[in-house]
């Protein structure tokens, strides 16, 4: 038995940045490695796991794709993360590389600390932390500091943290990374791309590569096999939540909304656009039944950008239930969002 530690790549990045797209691309291009994938999502509706299981193959069979939906990975280390990794390592053919997709709200640093767990420390190592960023969202200033707060408080105290909740999560993710994937370059022009690059670079505590991609398509040789051993290098990866030792996710809220069947795709898309526009919803995703269609519709909203495509037929034993996971900042209007999704189209 080899004593080499199994490399683990942690994929982090804000809600909807393109983490699942990247993981999927790596599963399709494993470079000869036998992979296992661990995916963590908010809410108990595992959509990413479902998407990823759709591209299971011999180099990453379905039972090597594990979903952890019981809350945040970094907060359930002992109960969930450690036993899951142990089970993967105990497989007759253990993986040669493990990919972990964290939830878009997760802070990577507490997860890195889990690699110090006695039973894991000798068996796995963090090969690299990849932060995926949405070039359009970054260029739009969605992670920018709260300028009003900066102005109001500058005179009072220079040291007060003026970041927005989105800004904090974004900064923590970039600060922890070994590589940043600046994704969705199709949605920005050259100027906006340069602005996004500058913003990402401004957040880096140390110089790391920034790679531009579309749909997370990157040469696996660039992102796998970095040998970063990030768990030994925690001090170089500062976090906003350092002093608390742990963190909570009180800045964001998730609801799950059950929808009626829809008559046509544009209706669903318009509603998902509307909840982002009118109620500041950050992310919406799920499967929707369209009347008369045997296929289920995968609906994905990132801000007001919405994609909908049929992914596979509803299974015979599967209820044709339309459900969307909706994530927004704390205090978003759950009732209004639910009503907007459940109501008749405008
Ligand atoms: N236009 C465009 N859309 C993209 C690109 N990459 C991903 N998307 C879309 O963006 C949406 C979110 O992509 P995901 O890969 O699910 O993002 P994620 O980071 O895994 O999302 P969460 O797990 O919810 O945080 C999906 O609708 C993707 O199809 C890209 O390069 N360009």
pLDDT tens digit sequence for 235-290: 888 887 665 445 556 788 999 999 988 878 999 999 999 999 999 999 999 999 99
- Nearest residue (by CA) to ligand 1, atom 2, is 184
Gap from CA of 32 to ligand 1 centroid (Å): 25
Count: domains in the chain: 2
Answer yes or no: are the C-beta atoms of 17 and 200 closer than 8 Å. no
Shared domain check, 162 and 28: yes
The residue-averaged pLDDT of 281-308 equals 95
Running DSSP on this structure, what letter comes out for residue 78?
I
Q: Tell me how far the alpha carbon of residue 299 lies from the centroid of ligand 1, in angstroms.
A: 11
- Residue 234 sits in the same domain as residue 320: no
| Span from the CA of 202 to the centroid of ligand 1 (angstroms) | 24
CB of 18 shorter than 6 A to ligand 1: yes
Ligand 1 closest atom vs CA 306: 27
pTM higher than 0.90: yes
Regarding whether 24 and 161 lie in a shared domain, the answer is yes
Q: Put the strands of the sheet holding 295-302 in their side by side order.
A: 252-259, 322-329, 283-289, 295-302, 305-313
Query: What's the average model confidence in pLDDT over 147-173?
Result: 69
Task: Looking at the structure, tell me whether residues 117 and 31 fall in a common domain.
Answer: yes
Residues 41, 96: one domain?
Answer: yes
Q: Do 109 and 179 sit in the same domain of this protein? A: yes
CATH number of the domain encompassing residue 331: 3.30.1220.10
Highest average pLDDT, of 16-20, 111-115, 149-153, 241-245, comes from 16-20
Final residue belonging to a domain, choices 176, 210, 244: 244
- Least confident range of 114-118, 240-244, 303-307: 240-244
Closest among 96, 111, 134 to 14, alpha carbons compared = 134
Q: Is 214 in the pocket of ligand 1 (CB under 6 A)?
A: yes
Q: Is residue 1 part of a domain?
A: no
pLDDT digits (tens, 9 = 90+) for 221-237: 999 999 999 988 888 88
Structural domain boundaries enclosing 337: 252-342
Does 302 sit in the ligand 1 pocket, CB within 6 Å?
yes
Higher-pLDDT residue of 320 and 243 is 320
Structural element, H or E, at residue 259 = strand 252-259
Q: Are residues 297 and 214 in the same domain?
A: no
Among 227, 244, 261, residue at a domain's last position: 244
Domain match, 277 and 187 both: no
Instruction: Give the model confidence (pLDDT) of 55-94 as tens digits.
Output: 888 888 888 998 887 666 666 666 788 889 999 999 999 9
């Amino acid at each position: 038995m080899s004593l080499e530690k199994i490399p683990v790549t942690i994929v982090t990045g804000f809600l909807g940045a393109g983490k699942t797209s990247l993981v999927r691309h790596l599963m399709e291009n494993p470079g000869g490695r036998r992979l296992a994938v661990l995916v963590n999502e908010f809410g108990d509706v595992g959509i990413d796991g479902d998407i990823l299981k759709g591209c299971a193959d011999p180099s990453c069979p379905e039972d090597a794709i594990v979903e952890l939906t019981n809350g945040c990975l970094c907060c359930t280390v002992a109960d969930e993360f450690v036993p899951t990794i142990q089970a993967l390592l105990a497989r007759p053919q253990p993986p040669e590389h493990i990919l972990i997709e964290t939830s878009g709200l997760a802070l990577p640093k507490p997860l890195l600390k889990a690699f110090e767990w006695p039973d894991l420390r000798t068996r796995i190592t963090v090969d690299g932390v990849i932060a995926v960023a949405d070039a359009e969202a970054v260029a739009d200033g969605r992670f920018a500091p709260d300028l009003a707060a900066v102005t109001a408080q500058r005179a009072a105290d220079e040291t007060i943290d003026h970041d927005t909740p989105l800004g904090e999560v974004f900064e923590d993710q970039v600060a922890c990374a070994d590589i940043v994937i600046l994704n969705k370059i199709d949605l920005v022009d050259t100027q906006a791309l340069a602005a996004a690059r500058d913003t990402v670079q401004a957040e880096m505590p140390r110089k790391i590569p920034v790679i531009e991609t579309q749909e997370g398509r990157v040469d696996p040789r660039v992102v796998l096999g970095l040998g970063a051993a990030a768990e030994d290098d925690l001090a170089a990866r500062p976090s906003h939540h350092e002093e608390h030792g742990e963190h909570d996710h009180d800045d964001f809220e998730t609801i799950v909304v059950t929808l009626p069947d829809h008559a046509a795709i544009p209706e669903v898309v318009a509603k998902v656009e509307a909840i982002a526009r009118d109620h500041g919803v950050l992310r919406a995703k799920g499967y929707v039944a369209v009347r008369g269609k045997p296929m289920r519709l995968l609906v994905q909203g990132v801000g007001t950008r919405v994609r909908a495509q049929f992914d596979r037929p509803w299974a015979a034993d599967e209820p044709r239930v339309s459900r969307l996971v909706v994530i927004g900042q704390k205090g978003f209007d759950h009732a209004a969002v639910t009503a907007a999704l459940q109501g008749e189209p405008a």
